[in-house]
Amino acid sequence: MPKVLISDQMSPKAAEIFRARGIEVDEITGLTKDELIKIIGHYDGLAVRSATKATKDVIAAATNLKVIGRAGIGVDNVDIPSASGAGIVVMNTPFGNSITTAEHAIALMFALARQLPEADASTQAGKWEKNRFMGVELTAKTLGLIGAGNIGSIVADRALGLKMKVIAFDPFLTPERAEIMGVTKVSLDELLAQADFITLHTPLTDSTRNILSAENLAKTKPGVRIINCARGGLIDEAALKAGLDSGHIGGAALDVFVEEPAKASPLFNTPNFISTPHLGASTDEAQVNVAIQVAEQMSDFLLTGGVTNALNVPSLSAEEAPRLRPYMQLAERLGSLVGQLVTEGVKGVTVEVEGAAAQLNIKPITAAVLAGLMRTHSDTVNMVNAPYLAREREIEIAEVRHDRETDYHTLVRVTVKTPDGDRTVAGTLFGMTKPRLTEIFGITVEADLSGRMLYIVNEDKPGFIGRLGGALGEAGVNIGTFHLGRRNTGSEAILLLSVDDTIPDPLLASICRLPGVKTVKALTFA
């Protein structure tokens, strides 16, 4: 009988479902990392919210673990590359708490507009300071959404009902979708300049970390009020404190912090600052939703192999699975590679199959490309919802089968249309099972795409590889594999290195400064 550990506070519904489906379940919350490491080896499944950190060390100790289920959306507490490396499926429940979180953002917006927490504390202290708490109306004010996905869309809907004007910055929001939502798509600078209230609804990624930096906060409208119910790290907390102190920022409400639990913060006790302890998803309704979903999904997987809402494996029928699975892994990695390298909005994706791949059902291959591509910008994308999301975002999808001889026995090629032009990558399967990159942006290169990698474009001049090796060696970064490709002798070369550990930002910056380097990017593959 499979055994599941529920290691965070969860609705009792989750344990009820596991037991009803014949799965043994332990509910042990508040474990330290060492305590978790000690017991995790006994379990086939781990059900978490955000407190448990499923780190590399925890996963290394999880010798029987087959599935990690996140009762919620954000999976930044789960090391997905390590889980994938260990063959552990990671699932989340993408929509169960969206309404609840959107409502929390709206609640915080009201609380800021009318200084509710301070007014409450003052009244209950017997002060009756009627003249101290002068608020602002929300009607006719401009709300700036940073991130217009599931939660952002619900916030927009509610704010429009409050007669606010809603503007949104989201590189993946098409003008057509913005029109359907009733919001105006704007650039980040336009949003910063126009919004009376700003609310954040993006995952924490390389492109969103510190999106409200000191520099961007300085571009906001004087008196702006800011709400973050998404992830700590989207706002520079020190700059936010300075902005509140100077009065440039009229108020801020944070549900999430860089360090959680946030037991101390320079922001605490700052006037016009409101905080809640990561309560965005904390309603009876949302917690029942996510508990039921996670327990059903994990039970299905442990008992039947069925995969739903997985972030690192495709969903597949039993018949197609054996032949398609390696192609989907290849497709997902090609999509992820372009997603990590292309920064501008994607307008179209063409998936071409040649050789043996042309005989297969192309749909799951396309879904895998799209999931890999869009997952770099959203925690909620999986093979199942990726094609739907792509359509919703007006991304044009084309599928082409080639009946022609190629250099490879089987080949998948992905071309992404961006405002800056087309970007093409291609790959094959070695031994019909191992994904292998064969072409990147017009340059032939043969490389694995797995784990943590470093992508460098440089001028093809002698001495560069030695300098790069020196920089990595000095920083104690071990190179696993090394792949090189170039357009013509002496022109542009591409290097793809696999590395054992995360590359720290200062090291990336120093590689960037090496003579001849044009582009450097740290990549991660699930």
Ligand X SMILES: NC(=O)c1ccc[n+]([C@@H]2O[C@H](COP(=O)([O-])OP(=O)(O)OC[C@H]3O[C@@H](n4cnc5c(N)ncnc54)[C@H](O)[C@@H]3O)[C@@H](O)[C@H]2O)c1
Ligand Y SMILES: O=C(O)CC[C@@H](O)C(=O)O
Binding site for ligand Y (CB under 6 A): 49-50, 72-74, 97, 278, 280-282
The contact mask relative to ligand X for 112-151 (x = CB under 6 A, - = no) is: ----------------------------------xxxxxx
Least distance in angstroms from the C-beta of 524 to ligand X: 16
Tell which one of 18, 172, 257, 455 touches ligand X (CB under 6 A). 172
- The continuous run of DSSP H or E covering 246 comes out as helix 237-246
Q: Provide, rounded to whole angstroms, the least separation between the CB of residue 210 and ligand X.
A: 11
Residue nearest to ligand X (CB): 149
User: In 10 A of CB 330, how many CB atoms?
Assistant: 29
Collapsed DSSP state (helix, strand, coil) of residue 480:
strand
Q: Which neighbouring-strand residues pair with 90?
A: 68
Sign of CA dihedral 134, 135, 136, 139: negative
208 binds, among ligand X, ligand Y, none (CB under 5 to 8 A by kind): ligand X
Which residue carries 């002060």 as its tokens? 127
Rounded CA gap, 84 and 79, in Å? 9
Amino acid at 382: N
175: left (phi over 0), alpha (psi -120 to 50) or beta: alpha
Q: Does 68 bind ligand X (CB under 6 A)?
A: no
**Which two three-digit tokens encode residue 423?**
């970007």
| 254 is a contact residue toward ligand X (CB under 6 A) | no
Integer Cα distance of 510 and 508 in angstroms: 5
**Whole-number Å distance between alpha carbons of 363 and 387:** 9
Q: CA 98 to CA 283: how far, in whole Å?
A: 11
- Bridge partner residues of 310 (DSSP): 91
| Least separation in angstroms between CB 100 and ligand X | 8
Q: Binding to ligand X by residue 385, rule CB under 6 A?
A: no
Q: Does 80 bind ligand X (CB under 6 A)?
A: no
- Is 339 among the residues that bind ligand X (CB under 6 A)? no
From ligand X, ligand Y, none, which one binds at residue 49 (CB under 5 to 8 Å depending on kind)? ligand Y
- 230 in contact with ligand X (CB under 6 A): yes
Do residues 54 and 40 make contact, with C-beta atoms less than 8 angstroms apart? no
Q: Which does 144 bind (CB under 5 to 8 A by kind): ligand X, ligand Y, none?
A: none
Q: Which of 85, 171, 306, 348 binds ligand X (CB under 6 A)?
A: 171
Binding window for ligand X (CB under 6 A); candidates: 71-79, 288-296, 362-370, 514-522: 71-79
Task: Please report whether residue 273 would count as binding ligand X according to CB under 6 A.
Answer: no
**Cα dihedral 507→509→511→512 (10° resolution):** 170
CB of 343 to ligand Y, least distance (A): 24
Q: Is 343 a residue that touches ligand X (CB under 6 A)?
A: no
How far apart CA 347 and CA 233 sit, in angstroms, is 29
| Closer to ligand X by Cβ: residue 181 or 477 | 181
The CB-side HSE value for 405 (13 A sphere, CA atoms) comes to 0
485 binds, among ligand X, ligand Y, none (CB under 5 to 8 A by kind): none
Nearest residue to ligand Y, by Cβ distance, number only: 72
Nearer to ligand X, 278 or 436 (CB): 278
458 binds, among ligand Y, ligand X, none (CB under 5 to 8 A by kind): none
Order of strands across the sheet that contains 443-447: 396-402, 348-355, 410-418, 421-430, 434-440, 443-447
Q: Does 202 bind ligand X (CB under 6 A)?
A: yes
The CA distance from 433 to 327, in Å, is: 8
How many angstroms separate the Cα of 169 from the Cα of each of 146, 177, 189, 341? Answer: 5, 13, 9, 20
User: Among ligand Y, ligand X, none, what does residue 297 contact (CB within 5–8 Å per kind)?
Assistant: none
Identity of the residue, 165 or 375, whose beta carbon is nearer to ligand Y in the bound complex: 375
Q: Tell me if 229 contacts ligand X by CB under 6 A.
A: yes
2, 45, 96, 203: which one contacts ligand X (CB under 6 A)? 203
Residues 434 and 481: beta-carbon distance below 8 Å? no
CB of 311 to ligand Y, least distance (A): 13
Q: Which of 49, 70, 231, 413 binds ligand X (CB under 6 A)?
A: 231
Those residues with Cβ within 8 angstroms of residue 1's Cβ, 6 or more apart along the chain or in another chain? 22, 23, 24
10 by DSSP, 3-state: which? coil
Catalytically annotated residue among 49, 278, 333, 423: 278
The answer to whether 278 is a known catalytic residue is yes
202 binds, among ligand Y, ligand X, none (CB under 5 to 8 A by kind): ligand X
Indicate the residue among 64 and 187 with the shorter CB distance to ligand X: 187
Percentages helix, strand, coil for the chain, rounded to the nearest 5? 35, 25, 40
Of ligand Y, ligand X, none, which one sits near residue 329, judging by CB under 5 to 8 A according to partner kind? Answer: none
Q: How far is the CB of 233 from ligand X (least distance, A)?
A: 10
The sign of the CA dihedral 115, 120, 122, 123 is positive
Q: Are 478 and 435 in contact (CB under 8 A)?
A: no
In this structure, the number of other CB atoms found within 10 A of the CB of residue 32 comes to 8
> In terms of CB distance, is 293 or 450 closer to ligand Y?
293
**Using CB under 6 A as the criterion, which residues of the chain lie in contact with ligand X when the complex forms?**
72-74, 97-98, 101, 146-152, 169-172, 201-203, 205, 207-208, 229-231, 255-256, 278, 280-281, 377-380
Residues annotated as catalytic are 231, 260, 278
